Amino acid sequence: MATGKEPITQRDLAQSLGVSISAVSLALAGRAGVSARLREQVLTRAAELGYKPNATAVALRTRRSKVLGLLIRNLRNPHFLDVIDGFDETCARAGYDVMVGSSRYEPDREQELLEAFQNRAVDGLAIAPIGASNHVHAWHTATNRPVVLLNAASHTTGPGTMSVQSDHRTAVDLAVHHLVGLGHRRLAMVVAPPDKSPDPERWERFETLGASMGFTAIAVTTELSATAAQAAIARELQGPADQRPTAFIANSDYIAHAVYLAAAECGLRVPHDVSIVGHDDLPTSASLCPPLTTIGVNRRDIGEHAATLLIDTLDNHPPTSSNVTVAVDLRVRESTAEPPS
């Protein structure tokens, strides 16, 4: 029998019950070949002694690691913390562990992390990819494991891949109609470079609305880090007063905060000189000065849906829909107002 510091093995369970190791193995696996009474005895004794199955042995027997990968773009953005939380909690309920990585918007790092996930034989992958990310399709082809794309461009989905995203089109519509309704006619959207853009549909919709509603649609293209975004926004705000944007739409509250900082750097006031609409409604967004008008979305839902899609697929329960859209709503606060006269 194992000592208190050594893990309990199936041999220990067999010896304590006076039965064979094969009987214990069948009972723990829920397979035929042992009586219901013996199975119950084995499970009870396993619980009493604190038996835990050897993960490596289980993986070799089932060809499943019971680990799911989650690869995000930026751990500095609090949006992803809630996504991770929802994903992890859903996985834990189903008996899965989670391996998390952050690409930091660096394609080479994304590739390295995908290789690490493959080497660790994760059973499935949820990823917020950088741009179109051919890496994802190569990983899926090489592993034949299920993949869920998070807040990715719709054209990046392909055979064998699923997706979860917030309603990008509605998010843009809500922000634009709110700002145009206040009288704004020069609107800027903060966007990533084309090769790294996670959601180009947002800009496409924004540009379409500009043409149909008669406002000037301005793209502020920047790496989606707070420092880079602040510098790019400040450059835009330093233009002539009759040409610079009077309102900004950001794809996250994390980047919306950079608009506040850039406005202050340029001696402009929010919302008197420039209005701001974010996306996510982070817990801190209502505490900004002034409180941020933003698009609300349940970030935990994104993680929960992603994990559920992967687990259902692995358990041979094909989901009703392989593409999930999470609803959004506009939460008006004090960072938006009529444009300066």
- Please name each of the domains of the chain with its CATH number: 10-53 (no CATH), 67-166+299-326 (3.40.50.2300), 168-297 (3.40.50.2300)
Whether the model clears a pTM of 0.95, i.e. scores above it, the answer is no
Predicted confidence at residue 53, as pLDDT, reads 67
Is the pLDDT reported for residue 177 higher than 80?
yes
Lowest-pLDDT choice from 186-190, 219-223, 313-317, 337-341: 313-317
How far apart CA 176 and CA 28 sit, in angstroms, is: 58
Is the pLDDT reported for residue 289 higher than 50?
yes
More confident residue, 276 or 136: 276
Predicted confidence at residue 60, as pLDDT, reads 45
Q: Compute CA distances 197 → 36, 52, 137, 156, 250, whole Å.
A: 56, 44, 17, 11, 13
Contacts of 258-263 with C-beta under 8 Å, sequence gap 24+, read 258/190, 258/226, 258/229, 258/230, 258/233, 259/190, 259/229, 259/233, 260/288, 261/226, 261/230, 262/229, 262/230, 262/231, 262/233, 262/234, 262/237, 263/233, 263/237
Task: Work out the average pLDDT over 150-163.
Answer: 70
pLDDT band at 22 (very low <50, low <70, confident <90, very high): confident
How far apart CA 278 and CA 254 sit, in angstroms, is: 8
38-50: per-residue pLDDT in tens?
Answer: 888 888 888 888 8
248-261: per-residue pLDDT in tens?
Answer: 999 999 999 999 99
Compute how many other C-beta atoms are within 10 angstroms of the C-beta atom of residue 35.
10
Predicted confidence at residue 63, as pLDDT, reads 58
